[in-house]
A and B are shown apart, each in its own frame.
Chain A
Amino acid sequence: MGDGALSGWERSSTARVIAPARPRKLAKVPFVELADGRLQGVVSSGSDIGRVYVSSVTAGEFAYACSTNNNRPCGGARGSYCNHIAAMVKEAVLQYGAERVARYLKCDLADAEPDAASLTRAMLATRPPAGDSKAAATVFSRFLRHLAYLEFDPATAPLPEMQWFPPTRAVA
Chain B
Amino acid sequence: MVPADEGGGLMRTDLLTEPVDGLDEALAAVDAFDGALASGLLRPQPDRAAGLLGLADAVAGTPLAAKAAEAAEKAVAGAAGEDHFVALAAARTALLGAVHDALGARAEEATGRPRGERSTQGDGPREAAQEVNVLVAARSWLSDLARCGWQGMDHEVVAGAAPVVSALLPEPGLRRLAALLDGFAAELAASCPGASLQQVPERRWADLWARAMLLTVPGAAEMPETATVSGRLLPLGVDVHEHPTAVQAQIHAVLEPADGSAARLVRASVSAPKPDTVVGAGLWQLLRPHLSLLEALGEGRAMELTDMPVTAEGDLLWSDGHARQGEPADPFATARVALPTATEAPTAPLDRHPARLAVPVFVEGYAAQLDEGGLTLTLAGQALHVDADRIPTASPLTPEAVAKSGACIGLLRWDAGRFTLQPLAVESTVRKKTVALHAGAWAGGTTDKAGVKGEKAATDAVKVLRERAGRLLRK
Q: A: which residues have CB within 8 A of B? A: 1-3, 6-18, 20-27, 30, 33-37, 44, 49-50, 52, 69, 95, 100, 104, 142-170
Contacts and interface: CB of A to CB of B under 8 A. Distances in A.
Nearest to A52: B472
A166 B240 CA distance: 7
Given A13-B204, A36-B155, A168-B389, 18 more contacts: A15-B203, A16-B389, A17-B204, A18-B244, A20-B279, A25-B457, A100-B190, A147-B472, A148-B473, A152-B169, A153-B172, A154-B286, A156-B269, A159-B246, A159-B248, A163-B358, A164-B355, A167-B389
B355 A1 contact: no
Interface stretch (B5-13, B140-148, B311-319): B311-319
14 contacts: A2-B34, A8-B416, A14-B355, A35-B155, A144-B473, A152-B272, A156-B290, A159-B176, A160-B176, A161-B176, A162-B248, A166-B240, A167-B390, A169-B399
Given A30-B465, A36-B159, A160 B389 contact: no
Contacts of B274: 149-150
Contacts of A154: 270-272, 286-287, 289-290
Interface of B: 27, 31, 34-35, 38-39, 151, 155, 159, 162, 166, 169-170, 172, 175-177, 179-180, 183, 186-187, 189-192, 199-204, 207-208, 211, 215, 223, 240-246, 248, 250, 267-277, 279-280, 282, 286-287, 289-291, 311, 313, 315-319, 348, 351, 353-356, 358, 387-393, 399, 415-417, 422, 454, 457-458, 460-462, 464-466, 468-469, 471-473
A12 B201 CA distance: 7
B172 A155 contact: yes
A161 B248 CA distance: 10
Contacts of A14: 204, 355, 415
Contact of B203 (A10, A69, A168, A170): A10
A1 B215 CA distance: 29
A128 B465 CA distance: 32
B241 to A, nearest CB: 4
Given A6-B31, A17-B191, A156 B317 contact: yes
A79 to B, nearest CB: 28
A2 B199 CA distance: 9
Given A23-B461, A36-B155, A165 B242 contact: yes
A104 B269 contact: no
A152 B187 contact: no
Nearest to A20: B279
B18 to A, nearest CB: 19
Given A17-B190, A23-B280, A155-B270, A161 B393 contact: no
A143 B348 CA distance: 37
Given A21-B244, A158-B269, A163-B355, A104 B190 contact: yes
A160 B465 contact: no
A162 B246 contact: yes
B166 to A, nearest CB: 6
B244 A150 contact: no
A156 B387 CA distance: 26
Contacts of A149: 169, 245, 273-275
A158 B471 contact: no
Contacts of B183: 164-165
A147 B31 contact: no
Given A152-B170, A155-B271, A17 B201 contact: yes
Contacts of A15: 201, 203-204
3 closest Cβ pairs, A-B complex: A2-B35, A162-B241, A154-B272
A49 B355 contact: no
Contacts of A95: 277
B187 A13 contact: no
A164 B358 CA distance: 12
A26 B465 contact: yes
B279 A150 contact: no
Contacts of B399: 169
B201 A18 contact: no
B469 A150 contact: yes
Nearest to B391: A169
A36 B185 CA distance: 12
B464 A27 contact: yes
Contact of B186 (A12, A18, A162): A18
B179 A169 contact: no
B472 A144 contact: yes
A34 B189 CA distance: 8
Contacts of A11: 27, 31, 202-203, 416-417
A16 to B, nearest CB: 7
Residue among A10, A20, A21, A160 having the largest count of chain B Cβ atoms under 10 Å: A160
A25 B223 CA distance: 39
Nearest to A17: B187
A7 B35 CA distance: 13
Contact of A156 (B200, B245, B286, B291): B291
Given A150-B466, A158-B269, A164 B201 contact: no
A18 B190 contact: yes
